[in-house]
Structure 1
Amino acid sequence: MSHRTLAALAATALLAAGCGTTTTGSVASGGGSRSQLLLVSSETVMQQSLQYYNEQNNEARSDGTLITSGPEYNRVRNVMQRLVPQVGAFRPDAAKWPWQLVLINEDTVNAHVMAGGKITFYTGLIRKLKLTDDEIAAVMGHEMAHALREHSREKMSQSAAGDLAVSIGGALLGLGSGATQLASMGKQLALDLPFSRSMESEADLYGLELAARAGYDPRAAITLWQKMAQQGGGSGPGFMSTHPSSGDRIAALQQAVPRVMPLYEAARSGKR
């Protein structure tokens, strides 16, 4: 057996061994739990995420844009604190994570999360879209879902696996560097970007359930994305975007809302 064949078999075994899932399934997505490629360790991703989070906060602090107190910050934090106890429905260990929130005073219509529950909101998102608490919960649930599903770890693992496959494929086929580069570009369009859209859609559904379990109206996720569409967010060509279009998101959420309404109604009535 040639060295190339052995390398290919070893790579295949590595990919197979790296498959698993980080959470249980979501009611909003039908209850199934998708298998994930998890080659990169949680510790590695956590360390890198914490480093970026600290750098971001230090920069914002030096610019005078970091908000860690006050009415606007407290409003967003209160939403997060209501959602955190619900994460155990997907993975019990996440309830013990050191969930953190910072608010950055910028016009950016955005929010993001780092591995381990380090959440960043921008004031532009709240102010420009005039978000209700239910809509803030939709955003918060979405970001928390990314952390619960360890999408950063999964994306890093997939990128590493894709690069490995392109490298091995080029060697096995005797491709030159130019052909291998074209193959890598094709891999990005065919694999990386749709996978990112898949993660965004998954976070929408998991986040929808988190918000409902916390007693926030899941229908607010629809009005959120209607507002985002009016701002131009997520409205670009779906094929070349790492995010689904607003229209696709709204349609998927409209289909999923009836599945989580009983959770919302139970939370509101105090029966759950």
Structure 2
Amino acid sequence: METIIFRLIALLALALLAGCQNVQTTSGGAVGVERSQYMFLGVSAAEIEQQYAKSYQDLLIKAEEKNLLDYESKNAERVDTISERLIKQAPVFRADAANWNWQIALIKDDTINANCGPGGKIIVYTGIIEKLQLTDDELAAVIGHEIAHALREHSREAISKAYPINVASQIGSLLGYANEVELVNLGVGLLMTLPNSRQNENEADLIGLELAARAGYNPNAAVTLWQKMAAKAGGAPLEFLSTHPSSENRINNLQAVIPKVLPLYQRANKH
């Protein structure tokens, strides 16, 4: 009986995966990010953008209420200027990005983080600028990386991968196989989700590198950025169980690609 149940769950997951479409969200650029992505047809980009836009506005409202939104500082000016220069380069990778409703926010918080959600909703936390003492070039590497995630629709891709698994898990739980399903989920996570997450991070690194170079920011700053990150972390977690590449591998990958984008930087308007 258990074998039959697990076969039914597996068949259902495969059927749902069959409802995915092979898409190319961006052009490859000079860095050559050419991987096709499987997107579940039941999860539209418009729906995800709409939902994220609401969450983004809710976050800004709460930050405003706590007087945490930074509009006027020197760092706020830097974030705006750098983001706008990077945004102008986004259509190189996908033309429709020129019509996105881009928004930029700097939040006063010690968190070492930044994000660009679906549809171009950028958040930078003051902690990443101040604690790492980022130069403009390094800040461009951070924001460019986050913009690249949005251009590649990595959030939608992750949801597309998780959807069939979640449905199968719910059915298995209803049939009384919760523990077994949890074990299956762990295996799927290790074999599929985590490697793809590291792949997505690498794609964001490469596209972000090119965005920064085209916008007139030194691509070598991506290396010093991750050197600072590694020093601040005091060591990196094991790469095998991490959703991010180790700092050492990340730096090596970036150094290998920098020669491809240096000519773009050298030709770019630096203002």
Q: TM-score range by the shorter chain?
A: 0.7 to 0.9
Residues 234, 99 of structure 1: CA spacing in aligned structure 2 closer, same or farther, 3 A cutoff? farther
AA at the equivalent of 1:49: Y
Contact 1:24-1:33 within 8 A present in 2 as well: no
Matched residue, 1:98: 101
AA at the equivalent of 2:258: V
Contact 1:66-1:104 within 8 A present in 2 as well: yes
Which runs of structure 2 are paired with 1:117-266 in the superposition (5 Å)? 117-164=120-167, 176-232=177-233, 235-266=236-267
Give, in whole Å, the separation in 2 of the partners of 1:7 and 1:231: 44
Equivalences, count: 265
Residues 251-260 or 57-66, more deviating = 57-66
Matched residue, 1:43: 46
Matched residue, 2:86: 83
Give, in whole Å, the separation in 1 of the partners of 2:269 and 2:62: 40
AA at the equivalent of 2:161: Q
TM-score by structure 2 length?
0.88
Residues 233, 100 of structure 1: CA spacing in aligned structure 2 closer, same or farther, 3 A cutoff? farther
In structure 1, list runs of 5 or more residues that go unmatched: none
AA at the equivalent of 2:178: S
Give, in whole Å, the separation in 2 of the partners of 1:234 and 1:210: 28
SS of equivalent to 1:66: coil
Deviation at 1:75, TM superposition (A): 1.0
AA at the equivalent of 1:250: I
SS of equivalent to 2:217: coil
Deviations 1:41-67 (A, max 9, x none): 112211221121112112211221111
AA at the equivalent of 2:237: G
Contact 1:228-1:234 within 8 A present in 2 as well: no
Structure 1 vs Structure 2: percent identity of aligned residues?
47
Give, in whole Å, the separation in 2 of the partners of 1:76 and 1:41: 30
Give, in whole Å, the separation in 2 of the partners of 1:240 and 1:267: 39
SS of equivalent to 2:25: coil
SS of equivalent to 2:115: strand
Deviations 1:68-96 (A, max 9, x none): 23322111110011111111111111011
AA at the equivalent of 2:51: Q
Deviations 1:176-230 (A, max 9, x none): 3322221112112222222222111110011001111111111110000000001
Deviation at 1:238, TM superposition (A): 1.2
Matched residue, 1:67: 70
Residues 85, 43 of structure 1: CA spacing in aligned structure 2 closer, same or farther, 3 A cutoff? same
In structure 2, list runs of 5 or more residues that go unmatched: none
SS of equivalent to 2:163: helix
Give, in whole Å, the separation in 1 of the partners of 2:105 and 2:151: 18
AA at the equivalent of 2:89: Q
Give, in whole Å, the separation in 1 of the partners of 2:110 and 2:12: 48
Deviation at 1:241, TM superposition (A): 1.5
AA at the equivalent of 2:55: Y
Give, in whole Å, the separation in 1 of the partners of 2:158 and 2:34: 20
Deviation at 1:12, TM superposition (A): 4.0
Residues 204, 64 of structure 1: CA spacing in aligned structure 2 closer, same or farther, 3 A cutoff? same
Aligned counterpart for 1:58 among listed residues 56, 61, 66: 61
Give, in whole Å, the separation in 2 of the partners of 1:81 and 1:234: 33
Give, in whole Å, the separation in 2 of the partners of 1:12 and 1:179: 18
Give, in whole Å, the separation in 2 of the partners of 1:5 and 1:245: 37
TM-score by structure 1 length?
0.87
Deviation at 1:242, TM superposition (A): 1.4
